[in-house]
Amino acid sequence: MLLSLGDKLRIIRRAKGLSLENIAYETGRSVATLSRIERGETDIDTETTYAIKKAMGIEHAPLLEHELMLYKNRMWVWNDIINAQRFSEAKTMIPEMSSIIHLPFESELALLYTLIEMRIDIYEPENKLKAKHKLDALAASYDDMSINARHFFHRNTGMVYSHWNNTKALQHCLLALETLSDETKTSTPILLLNIGAKYYALGRIFHAMTYLERAKYEHQEDRTNIIGAYIDSMLIACYISIGEYDKAKSLAELVLSRAKAINDRQGVALALNHMGHVYKGMKDFETALPFFEESQILYGGKQDVFIVELLNSIEGKAYCLLGLKRFTELKDVIKKGQSLAKNIPSAQHTFESLQHLLTLNNAESTNHIENITIPFLLGNSNYQAALRFCDRLEAYYIKKGAVKKANAIAIKSREIYKMLLAPVVLENDNKN
């Protein structure tokens, strides 16, 4: 049933617990006039409409058909602004966009507003738990949601779980991709990027590449913007992981030139780090070292912000020094990494394991790598790193003539390769 403007004003007024006398006092119109307006017995001019809306605190609310169409268009513009992570601009639009929540007869749009606005909070780590509680409450009404609401429900849930449970995050990102519509299809590259990133975090490099290459194809905007830069960075990491060093090098060089052209200090540091990992993978350790060292200088100015990236660069440098057998320098680098990683357990574990690579002649070190390092890495889906330690341990056992132990590690390596290709097991429940 279509509601008249008078019907809408009456519903809002009652929902807010206001009387006709309250509105009359604020607008200067008589109670009788207001009553006739609500019953549709008299026309209402623009000035009176605005006065009534202002009296009820809903100046921006879209009550007329053309206002509603404009609001919907603005909502999708707002969504694109949030997609581009222009959060300051997005926040200035909240007073206008939030007006929809005061309209009981626009419950679907109000839900969409809630879900889109929630994404601003999700990007702020301290608000993720609050967002999760809101999503848990909304899950009960999932079956009644529109396709667009389901899309944002899954997208938000995937973002919330991104730091807690990569499998759940992946599941919801895939469901968000399935629920794209004409209105939300501009989100396709971001979703493909997120899915690729989740597969990468779960150690499924080939799965990750499939989605990241699709994201690169779908993303037609300036490659220097934040989404394009993320896609390229993830693809470089994938190419390095599978030994496609020529591809990785070409893309890293392109990213480096772009970052330098726009004076993007973080982008330059990241590209230099990638270049270091490319040459490290090619075992050209001498060429790799300067790239790691230069990236650390750039990260060092903001090491609290880029601590994970800085530690990754230090780890890369450590492996180069290990390959060059410059053990004195390596000990200093490991010590530096351990100092910086004191609040990051996974990084602490990395540098402790590197320390044990220096003392493989000691049974304690081989036991640590075999029984602590490799299981820890597998538990975190870091299959590539686990394989690196397996390779070093197998080479050590072969050198020592410990054939049975070398064979056991070789079998473990084959098992890990199978894990790389195995599908991720997802849950059937798409609400949680």
Residue 49: which CATH number?
Answer: 1.10.260.40
Burial class (CB in 10 A: 0-12, 13-18, 19+), 169: buried
91 vs 97: CA distance, rounded Å: 10
- The answer to the question of residue 18 being in a domain is yes
Is 14 within a domain? yes
In a domain, 36, yes or no: yes
- 21 within a domain of the structure (yes/no): yes
Q: Is residue 50 part of a domain?
A: yes
What is the pLDDT at residue 163? Answer: 77
Helix (H) / strand (E) element for 72: namely helix 65-83
Q: Name which of 89, 168, 150, 79 is nearest 119 in CA terms.
A: 79
DSSP 278-338: HHHHTT-HHHHHHHHHHHHHHHHTTTTTSHHHHHHHHHHHHHHHHHTT-HHHHHHHHHHHH
What is the reported pLDDT for 372? 94
pLDDT at position 321: 95
Mean pLDDT by 10 residues, the chain (432 residues): 87 92 91 92 89 91 92 93 89 93 92 93 82 91 93 94 88 94 88 94 92 89 73 94 94 93 90 96 96 91 76 94 94 93 88 91 92 92 91 92 94 91 74 60
Residue 397 confidence (pLDDT):
93
Interatomic CA distance for residues 360 and 367, integer angstroms: 9
11 is written with which tokens? 């519903």
| pLDDT the model gives residue 302 | 66
What is the pLDDT, as a whole number, of residue 343? Answer: 83
In-domain check, residue 46: yes
The pLDDT tens digits of the residues spanning 118-129 come to 998 888 877 888
Residue 186: the pLDDT is 83
Cβ neighbors of 414 (< 8 A, separation 6 or more) are: none
Distances (CA, A) of 296 to 309, 344, 384, 401: 9, 18, 23, 40
Indicate whether 408 belongs to any domain. no
Q: What per-residue confidence (pLDDT) applies to 421?
A: 83
pTM for this prediction: 0.84
Q: How many domains does the chain have?
A: 1
Distance CA(364)–CA(402), nearest Å, equals 16
Q: Is 295 part of a structural domain of the chain?
A: no
pLDDT at 431: 60
Tell me what pLDDT residue 304 has.
66
Domain that holds residue 46: 5-59
**pLDDT recorded at residue 303:** 63
**What tokens were used for 29?**
């119109």
- CA 125/CA 334 separation, integer angstroms: 30
pLDDT of residue 43: 86
Q: What is the dihedral of CA 336, 339, 343, 349, to 10 degrees?
A: 60
pLDDT digits (tens, 9 = 90+) for 268-277: 999 999 999 9
